[in-house]
Amino acid sequence: MSDAAPPPAPSPELSAAVDHGELSAGAAQNVAKALADPHRSGSHAAIQSLIDAGDWQELDALYFEVIPFGTGGRRGRMSDHGTATMNPRTVAESADGLARYMAQQFPEKAAKRGGLKAAVAHDTRHRSEEFARLTATTLAARGVRTFMFRGFRSTPELSFAVRELNCDAGVVVSASHNPPSDNGFKAYWDDGAQVLPPHDRGIIDAVYASTEIPTLDFDRAVDDGLIEVIGEEIDSAYVDAVADLSLSSNRDVTAVYTSLHGVGETNVFAVLDQAGFRGVELLDSQRNPDGGFPTVDANFPNPERLEVYGPAIERAKEIDADLVLATDPDSDRLGVCAKNAFGEYLHISGNRVGALICDHILRKRHQQGTLPANGYVVETLVTTRLIGAIAKAADVQVIDDLLVGFKYIGQKMDQEGPDSFLFGAEESLGYLAGQYARDKDAAVAALYIMELAASLKSGGKTLHDRLDELFIEHGYHAEGQFSEKLPGSGGRETTAKLMAAFRSDPPTSLGGIELAKVFDYEDHEVRSLPGNERTEALPEPDGNLMIFQSDPGGSAAVRVAVRPSGTEPKIKFYTFANAAVSDADRLPAVKESTDATLAKVQGDLSAWVAAKLGELSS
């Protein structure tokens, strides 16, 4: 029997709001806990003001949950207080929980002052520097020697710094490609990868146990040697490590690069300049670091969105550039548009950029005789199978059964041996080569895309031409995705119910194609369709992901992946269709028919989801 005190009961006002459907039960419980917690006294007046005003909607948004760690740590809306948002308390308790968990895992280091080490970086978002300094002082107050970057830096450079400085953990304050309202706390372990089980669970348990959180004055901590400000020396080592991965000397290519007001000038542009690319122009209108992302369409700096490329494409047309490159605010993702034979700048999806880079690496290393005998390529379960086809044709091992999240690619690198690692990719514009980091890096991706484009240009070809050659050799692969946003206090419950519907009563036909199997990575089984009957076990990996697929013998093979997002309140759907191409003359017709099939699959899937959500809400 537990001796723990029962949680405080919500006040009559809070209980009445719950009874009237104005406030979720979870929010009422979290508000009651916050008001009873003397360590949260700084937020008591603000909470009471919302209660007095009857602003239950805002109170619910601030307290409906305790913001969790997902595939990318903690991420969400910023506010001054609230268990469900990124604010000084949730940032400090994240750092405090990380520090205490580090001490549990490395007790000998924790026994001496400054024995534990961590690195901290931040992007250009609103409050990122504030939250990074708070993270650093909290870690330092727990006795962790903390290396903090002077000014904003990219996420991959943080991964590099953790390894370079032999740190036990690291933190990046960033919300990646989210809107300006958001920020995040991404935790890294001593290998330079984002935290994995069991460490993620251990950290969040420690976070939940945080009560009184110690702190230090930043300047005093610097004077005492518990915080060390770092910068140029790590920058130089990082840039050299990436630029040294060059596989070609051809530099005759031009590009317009936009950081979308983020940190990308510190890694992507720095690496391209170090590697000798002189034809890269920084888009001046989006160069200024600004967390409001003022010149980006809808202020939403996600390079997966075609709308963000508008200003860069306009400039590319003016100077007749070959490429347009864009990165998200923390510059771990690279988006690419390339000019075609008609002078049009067409976006190339993350899946296809990954295929192009994989092909470039394998061909160049084969030519140079540097392909290891046991070399391997890694991709996630929701990434294009074209990468696997390219690797298999080069007699290279393919590891393609990983859950979503680049941390799993980093983990696989160390399990299989980094010396044999050739390339890792995920569909959301994430790529890595080399051994210098354990997270995706837009800089190394930009290096290889520029080299490939330069080589192709010398032969009168474009990236689009090379893609067509890959399709003819390995089959035409088309991919798409969409999301169903389920925000608010009821979002997690609705998400769980929708995932349950996919498991118990799944779609059996999409786009006129019968689905034959579902691979369920949470229930760990393969089921046949349409009967939805278990046919075999599926031991690994372990995650809330389902993949539906058709029989491979049809004119077009179809796959559909379904999973809740690990960082945002939504379910993500990934669609795939591929078909063989008998010869170059048939490629246009195969493209047209396969794209049409994929569109029908997405339309039917979207309709099925809408119908199920309607049933759940009725």
Tens digits of residue pLDDT in 290-344: 999 999 999 999 999 999 999 999 999 999 999 999 999 999 999 999 999 999 9
User: Domain residues for 278?
Assistant: 237-346
Query: pTM, whole model, 2 decimals?
Result: 0.96
Do both 411 and 436 map to the same domain? yes
Cα-based distances in Å from 533 to 308, 385, 515, 525, 530: 45, 26, 13, 10, 8
Q: Is the model's pLDDT at 3 over the cut of 70?
A: no
Label residue 222 by pLDDT band (50, 70, 90). Answer: very high
Tens digits of residue pLDDT in 109-165: 999 888 999 999 999 999 999 999 999 999 999 999 999 999 999 999 999 999 999
Do both 89 and 219 map to the same domain? yes
Do both 327 and 355 map to the same domain? no
Q: What is the mean pLDDT of the chain?
A: 95
pLDDT of residue 2: 44
Domain's final residue, options 326, 346, 366: 346
Do both 92 and 217 map to the same domain? yes
Burial class (CB in 10 A: 0-12, 13-18, 19+), 350: buried
pLDDT of residue 6: 79
Do both 196 and 89 map to the same domain? yes
Whole-number Å distance between alpha carbons of 178 and 172: 15
Strands 117-122 and 145-149: parallel
DSSP-derived secondary structure letter, 238: H
Tens digits of residue pLDDT in 454-463: 999 999 999 9
pLDDT of residue 493: 87
Whole-number Å distance between alpha carbons of 135 and 513: 51
**126: CATH:** 3.40.120.10
Do both 219 and 271 map to the same domain? no
Q: What's the domain count of the chain? A: 5
Check residues 401 and 487 and name the one with the higher pLDDT.
401
Spatial strand order of the sheet with 227-230 comes to 74-77, 182-189, 169-173, 117-122, 145-149, 227-230
pLDDT of residue 4: 58
Do both 84 and 200 map to the same domain? yes
Residues 96-119 have a mean pLDDT of 95
pLDDT of residue 554: 67
In a domain, 272, yes or no: yes
Q: Are 326 and 260 in contact (CB under 8 A)?
A: yes
Catalytic choice (94, 154, 174, 176): 176
Give me the long-range contacts of 59-62 (CB less than 8 A, separation at least 24): 59/23, 59/27, 59/31, 60/22, 60/23, 60/24, 60/27, 60/488, 60/489, 61/85, 61/488, 62/27
Q: Are 402 and 412 in contact (CB under 8 A)?
A: yes
Do both 593 and 520 map to the same domain? yes
Domain's final residue, options 230, 262, 297: 230
Domain's final residue, options 195, 215, 230: 230
Backbone phi and psi for residue 221, each to the nearest 5 degrees, phi listed first? -65, -35
Do both 359 and 502 map to the same domain? no
**Nearest of 90, 50, 37 to residue 67 by alpha carbon:** 90
In a domain, 72, yes or no: no
Residues 404-414 have a mean pLDDT of 96
Tens digits of residue pLDDT in 504-532: 999 999 999 999 999 999 999 999 999 99
Q: Are 504 and 497 in contact (CB under 8 A)?
A: no
pLDDT of residue 70: 63
Angle between helices 587-617 and 463-474 (to 10 degrees): 90
pLDDT of residue 71: 55
Do both 301 and 404 map to the same domain? no
Do both 220 and 243 map to the same domain? no
Do both 504 and 407 map to the same domain? no
Tens digits of residue pLDDT in 539-591: 999 999 999 999 987 678 999 999 998 767 789 999 999 999 999 999 999 99
- Which residues, including other chains, have CB under 8 Å from residue 45's CB and lie 6 or more apart? none
In a domain, 70, yes or no: no
- CA 101-42-68 angle, 5° bins: 40
As given in the structure block, the two tokens for residue 374 are 């046991």
In a domain, 261, yes or no: yes
In a domain, 69, yes or no: no
Residues 442-446 have a mean pLDDT of 99
**In the chain, how long is the greatest CA-to-CA distance?**
76
Tens digits of residue pLDDT in 49-88: 999 999 999 999 999 998 887 656 799 999 999 999 999 9
Task: Please confirm, yes or no, whether 455 is among the known catalytic residues.
Answer: no
Tens digits of residue pLDDT in 461-485: 999 999 999 999 999 999 999 999 8
pLDDT of residue 97: 94
pLDDT of residue 490: 79
Whole-number Å distance between alpha carbons of 445 and 350: 11
Whole-number Å distance between alpha carbons of 510 and 604: 6
pLDDT of residue 565: 83
Tens digits of residue pLDDT in 375-402: 999 999 999 999 999 999 999 999 999 9
